[in-house]
Amino acid sequence: MERKYFGTDGVRGRVGEGAITPEFVLKLGWAAGRVLGNGHGGKVVIGKDTRISGYLFESALEAGLAAAGMDSYLLGPMPTPGIAYLTCTLHADAGIVISASHNPYYDNGIKFFSADGKKLPDEVELAIERELDGPLVSVASEHLGKAYRVSDAEGRYIEFCKRSVPWTMNFKGLRVVVDCANGAGYHIAPHVFDELGAEVIAIGVEPDGLNINAGVGSTHADHLRSEVLRNGADVGVALDGDGDRVIMCDAGGELLDGDDVLYIIATARLEAGRGDGVVVGTQMTNLGLEHALREKGIALERTRVGDRYIMERLEARGWSLGGEPSGHILCLDRTTTGDGIISALQVMAAMRASGKGLAQLREGLCKYPQILRNVHLGAASAREIMASEALREVVRSVEDELGESGRVLLRPSGTEPLIRVMIEGRDPDQVEALSSRLADAVSALLP
């Protein structure tokens, strides 16, 4: 069955358009309640980020779930991984996240966690889609769901994050800039690092419903860099709007993406006699990381782009560590999903255990020049453009020119109307020229 609504990470779009309307979200809550409750009621945990439309969709979901006989436990603003954790500890049948992650405030989305804090299996998402095609029929009044506010959600998740590092460890003496993107982590992350002993300088902690991800957070990390340098900090941590990604910064102002974070965590585990000897990345993972890990005796396996595919590979093989350059890191021996705070804590634990700064910890990693260009599609079909023989010919030409010294990746985004063009190679001038050529070839196909 072809998906009509669910993408790679739930349902997402511009508020008021397509599936991101109060009418649709109400019915989505009802359909999810019908499938997840299996006709026997139950409870669902609901959390959101700080964008203004979260109020609207929280109410719509609550109403839809109630019509299906499901109770709602409302967390308020909470990072996505916190919602996954609380879904498990509250023994809920599912968790729902109202967030568009790193997107601007005018977008929003709905994504789901299963009872074990993991993304829903494909067959469950498809079952929800089938329910959406039928009429909304409410349960009898005596079976309607209720809504409850979880008053201690913040403290529960803070303690969970702190337990991801050894209880004997503290970060006293470390000055940390924490950028919460005016998002869901604004009232969580600063407390975590503070309670672990660090001196915290918090930025991006004044959400107003419209400023989420606006010039701050992991997608605007230059702001983090400037604050680290201005405050003479030892480390910077930038989250995205829903707190599942992290970008870091060393004391010298050098930014560290997800590949750097993976390298530091993997090598720290190796030196501590832990780890699986394998890290899972994606097609976007830098070739330099693959080579650096290989020198340490650690293998890199690649999947399709998207954390759900990394998760599938890790679970299938019984491994624990994987991630994407975007900063979405999976430490499955610590939590069930990508968690920006917990990933940053693993890096800081490596700093404390080794006595080294971030720059020293990543010295063995030399990344290849990599350029990613986004070609916005407007109303054009990504599928038709990707099927173009003319475009395929350009791709073949670029691959021939790179030879064995680089890689080409051309793929449609799973969350936005654009095609991503990535070129990687040893020669930065060649990478720049070839990425322009390929992006121009995509643009030439737009109507």
Sheet with 406-412, edge to edge strand ranges: 370-376, 418-425, 406-412
Element (DSSP H or E) covering residue 358:
helix 358-361
Residues in contact with 105: Cβ distance below 8 Å, sequence separation at least 6, in sequence order: 51, 52, 53, 209, 210, 211, 212, 213, 214
**Are the C-beta atoms of residues 303 and 123 closer than 8 Å to each other?**
no
**Residue at token pair 């010919």:** 393
**Are the C-beta atoms of residues 289 and 302 closer than 8 Å to each other?**
no
Strands 71-77 and 147-149: parallel
**Are the C-beta atoms of residues 117 and 85 closer than 8 Å to each other?**
yes
Residues in contact with 190: Cβ distance below 8 Å, sequence separation at least 6, in sequence order: 178, 180, 200, 202, 205
CA–CA dist 253, 142 (Å, integer): 60
CA–CA dist 272, 192 (Å, integer): 24
Q: Closest Cα partner for 75 from 49, 107, 101, 56?
A: 49
Catalytic member of 101, 164, 320, 343: 101
At residue 70's C-alpha, the angle toward residues 66 and 74, to 5°, is 80
Q: Which two tokens stand for residue 424?
A: 């990687």
**Are the C-beta atoms of residues 327 and 245 closer than 8 Å to each other?**
yes
- For 443, list phi and psi in degrees, rounded to 5: -60, -35
Strands 175-179 and 199-203: parallel
Catalytic residue at 101? Answer: yes
Q: Which two tokens stand for residue 89?
A: 């500890």
CA–CA dist 20, 16 (Å, integer): 6
Provide the greatest CA pair distance for the chain.
69
Helix residue ranges per DSSP H, 79-216? 80-89, 122-132, 153-162, 189-195
**Are the C-beta atoms of residues 185 and 340 closer than 8 Å to each other?**
yes
Point out the residues that are catalytic. Answer: 101
